A and B are shown apart, each in its own frame.
Chain A
Amino acid sequence: MLNRLTIKQAHEGLKKKEFSSVELTRACLKRIKERNKDINAFISVFEKEALEEANKADEMIKKKKSFDGAQGKQKMLLGIPFCVKDAINTMDRRSTGAAKILDNYIPPFDATVIKKIREQGAVLLGKNNCDAFGHGASNENSMYGPVKNPRDLTKVAGGSSGGTAAAVADDMCVFGIGEDTGGSIRQPASFCGVVGLRPSYGRNSRYGIMPMASSLDTVGPITKTVEDCAIVEEIMAGHDKLDATTVPSQKSVKSLKSIKSLRVGVPREYFYVDGMDGEVKKMIERKIERLKDYKTCPERSRRIEIVGVSLPMTKYAIPVYYIIVPSEDSSNLGRLDGIRYGVRAEAKNLYDVYAKSRAQGFPEEVKRRIMIGTYALSAGYYDAYYRKAQKVRTLIIQDFNKAFENVDVLITPTSPFTAFGIGEKKNDVLAMYLADIFVAPAAVAGLPAISVPAGKTKSGLPVGLQIIGPRLKENLVFHTAKLIENYAR
């Protein structure tokens, strides 16, 4: 049962030599073998390579050395098995983005965040299924089949990082790395009952993440506990000369010096929308109630206040998001044309090489987004759609800024409902887009947000609670998340 361990527990166990990294890795691989045929959380599993990496990690542990040869403290992730969303490039390990156009693609480089994790000596188990290039909220837009929710195989795992959330929830790994453009880490984390962080835009390098919407894309951890999430985020964060949008000087995500009291805002727009599940609403409200009762909290010297706030621009986040994303998407996906890498279709002339490679290599939703984006950016429509959306985006940011003048963090449900049935929303494009209603606003504003488990409904499906913080204030987000995890049961 080693595969069920958290990072913290696995690290301690490896340090005390209670078990080896090879044993831990084997336990995860065994779980993958038993469960992946039902859940479909992995597109690739690197059994042989993972065991080699684990073996190497065990030697390092034995010699008390890190990979760079230096003596010293054992690195936090040394010997810990993890998995990565397939839309993130991993050196010498197939990375498809869940689209057939990259079915044979072996990246010659690691994404910066993956490089940092692998330099710690973490063991890469495999690559996770996802909505192709991150396009979706149910993981049904993968060309490698849908991911099923480990808590109920008839339900979706959420998306787009559904395979990663499912793998973490089902203990097929110790932790995972996902990508969140408009909710793709938080929403599946919520559906599967695990912790998932979307960092502030600019905290983690996007270099090597298959680009979707460049002004929104972020990469972050999916873990079993809030503590694990902070551990991984701390390692991933930091300036990268290969991503000009990374912020040069960053505070530690664990810094809690400035927190003496905590004012929590509860925005009413996140509790009253069409399609809101009453049971989900009640569960989140109950969590907030428990938080209010800070006498039960061992850190009671820290005062907690709950205040109602209003974010009137919330309902415009989805139309803004679904203009900006396809526009930037359609432009970014121009690079996938079957010319220099990936799968090239048989064709007589150059135009057909492009048009056929893309037709055969992209699933329906990717094509839909390319079409919407190409239209929204085309001459005569740019002002009406893209420019208008970018202006409303400013108003959404101002909305949050105003709220954060009065509160430290915001608490909301991550999703208005629990995991829905496979196929249930597949043919209703707008209903699927609306699944992102509570996760898109923070993304549009570039804010950090985490989803933490808030219990299960009567039918046994996980509910997620979202904490949104001011830009680069991950420390406040993690602090609040820990309170929810520990004391607001």
Chain B
Amino acid sequence: MKLSVEQIEEIAKLARLELNEKEKKMYAEQLSAVLDYMEMLNEVNTDGVEETCQVTGLEDVVRSDRAEECPSEIEEKIIENFPEKIGNLLKVRAVFSEAE
């Protein structure tokens, strides 16, 4: 499987990752090599084999759908971690803008 620079750009866009030209070239080569290696799995016959999504065997692990109060000192610590804020509010760029 050979990946082109255009494909790399598409994947990077999906992943919200800015890449420079050098990185695009490097990842195109490396991803192609890694995916080739993965082809090894095609040797294995998996007809009728179930997928393993989890290994614990636990089923129906539920909890009540109830909001729990967040202690105010934890709330303060979370707000303290905001990269930008106005008062206690998180500041972000506009969700709808002409650029995108």
Seen from chain A, the residues whose Cβ lies within 8 Å of a Cβ on chain B are 92, 105-106, 108-109, 201-202, 215, 241, 244-245, 247, 313, 315-316, 319-320, 322-323, 330, 334, 337-344, 347-356, 358-359, 362, 364, 367-368, 370-372, 374-375, 378, 385, 387-395, 397, 429-430, 433, 445-446, 471
Please report the C-alpha to C-alpha distance between residue A306 and residue B92 in the assembled complex, in whole angstroms: 62
- Are B44 and A395 in touch, CB under 8 angstroms? yes
Please report the C-alpha to C-alpha distance between residue A408 and residue B80 in the assembled complex, in whole angstroms: 51
Q: Which residues of A contact B8 (CB under 8 A)?
A: 371
Q: Is the interface of B mostly helix, strand, loop or mixed?
A: loop
Q: Which residues of B contact A351 (CB under 8 A)?
A: 16, 99-100
With A244-B61, A339-B83, A351-B16 as given contacts, are A367 and B23 in contact (CB-CB < 8 Å)? yes
Q: Residue on B with the closest CB to A313?
A: B44
Q: Residue on A with the closest CB to B99?
A: A349
The 6 lowest CB-CB distance pairs between A and B, nearest first, are A446-B55, A108-B77, A344-B83, A390-B51, A391-B46, A359-B18
The 0/1 profile, CB within 8 Å of A marked 1, for residues 59-96 of chain B is 00101000000000010011011111000001011110
With A350-B94, A350-B95 as given contacts, are A394 and B83 in contact (CB-CB < 8 Å)? no
Seen from chain B, the residues whose Cβ lies within 8 Å of a Cβ on chain A are 3, 8, 11-12, 14-19, 23, 27, 30-31, 33-35, 37-38, 40-42, 44, 46, 49-56, 58, 61, 63, 74, 77-78, 80-84, 90, 92-95, 97, 99-100
Give the Cβ gap from A375 to chain B, nearest Cβ, in Å: 5
- Are A395 and B46 in touch, CB under 8 angstroms? yes
Please report the C-alpha to C-alpha distance between residue A338 and residue B74 in the assembled complex, in whole angstroms: 20
Give the Cβ gap from B55 to chain A, nearest Cβ, in Å: 3
Please report the C-alpha to C-alpha distance between residue A433 and residue B40 in the assembled complex, in whole angstroms: 15
Q: Which residues of A contact B35 (CB under 8 A)?
A: 372, 375
Please report the C-alpha to C-alpha distance between residue A378 and residue B55 in the assembled complex, in whole angstroms: 24
Please report the C-alpha to C-alpha distance between residue A335 and residue B69 in the assembled complex, in whole angstroms: 23
- Are A106 and B80 in touch, CB under 8 angstroms? yes
Q: Residue on A with the closest CB to B40?
A: A319
Q: Residue on B with the closest CB to A351?
A: B100
With A247-B58, A342-B83, A392-B44 as given contacts, are A322 and B17 in contact (CB-CB < 8 Å)? no
Give the Cβ gap from B60 to chain A, nearest Cβ, in Å: 10
Please report the C-alpha to C-alpha distance between residue A405 and residue B19 in the assembled complex, in whole angstroms: 50
Please report the C-alpha to C-alpha distance between residue A281 and residue B32 in the assembled complex, in whole angstroms: 33
- Are B11 and A356 in touch, CB under 8 angstroms? no
- Are A385 and B58 in touch, CB under 8 angstroms? no
Please report the C-alpha to C-alpha distance between residue A433 and residue B11 in the assembled complex, in whole angstroms: 22
Q: Residue on B with the closest CB to A214?
A: B54
With A105-B81, A106-B80, A319-B37 as given contacts, are A374 and B14 in contact (CB-CB < 8 Å)? yes
Give the Cβ gap from B31 to chain A, nearest Cβ, in Å: 6
Contact of B81 among A106, A245, A347, A358 (CB under 8 A): A106
Q: Which residues of B contact A378 (CB under 8 A)?
A: 11, 14
- Are A353 and B93 in touch, CB under 8 angstroms? yes
With A353-B93, A395-B46, A397-B55 as given contacts, are A371 and B38 in contact (CB-CB < 8 Å)? no
- Are B55 and A391 in touch, CB under 8 angstroms? no
- Are B30 and A429 in touch, CB under 8 angstroms? yes
Contact of B34 among A313, A341, A372 (CB under 8 A): A372
- Are A350 and B92 in touch, CB under 8 angstroms? yes
Q: Which residues of A contact B93 (CB under 8 A)?
A: 347-350, 353
- Are A245 and B54 in touch, CB under 8 angstroms? yes
Q: Which residues of A contact B31 (CB under 8 A)?
A: 368, 371-372, 375
Q: Which residues of A contact B41 (CB under 8 A)?
A: 316, 319-320, 323, 388-389, 392
- Are A202 and B38 in touch, CB under 8 angstroms? no
With A323-B38, A344-B83, A395-B46 as given contacts, are A202 and B56 in contact (CB-CB < 8 Å)? yes
Q: Which residues of B contact A338 (CB under 8 A)?
A: 83
Q: Which residues of A contact B27 (CB under 8 A)?
A: 367-368, 371
Contact of B19 among A241, A352, A367, A430 (CB under 8 A): A367
Q: Residue on A with the closest CB to B38?
A: A319
- Are B17 and A446 in touch, CB under 8 angstroms? no
- Are A350 and B14 in touch, CB under 8 angstroms? no
- Are B55 and A375 in touch, CB under 8 angstroms? no
- Are A395 and B49 in touch, CB under 8 angstroms? yes
Contact of A370 among B15, B61, B77 (CB under 8 A): B15
Q: Which residues of B contact A364 (CB under 8 A)?
A: 23
Q: Residue on A with the closest CB to B74?
A: A108
Q: List 21 A-B contacts (CB under 8 A).
A: A202-B56, A215-B55, A245-B61, A247-B58, A319-B37, A319-B38, A340-B78, A340-B90, A342-B81, A348-B99, A349-B99, A350-B100, A352-B99, A353-B92, A367-B23, A372-B34, A378-B11, A394-B49, A395-B44, A395-B49, A446-B56
Give the Cβ gap from A247 to chain B, nearest Cβ, in Å: 6
Q: Residue on A with the closest CB to B63?
A: A241
- Are A341 and B18 in touch, CB under 8 angstroms? no
- Are B81 and A391 in touch, CB under 8 angstroms? no
Question: Which of A247, A315, A341, A391 lies at the interface centre, i.e. has the most chain B CB atoms within 10 A of its CB?
Answer: A391
- Are A215 and B33 in touch, CB under 8 angstroms? no
Q: Which residues of A contact B23 (CB under 8 A)?
A: 364, 367
Q: Which residues of B contact A92 (CB under 8 A)?
A: 77
- Are A108 and B52 in touch, CB under 8 angstroms? no
Give the Cβ gap from A197 to chain B, nearest Cβ, in Å: 17
Q: Which residues of B contact A372 (CB under 8 A)?
A: 31, 34-35
Q: Residue on A with the closest CB to B84?
A: A344
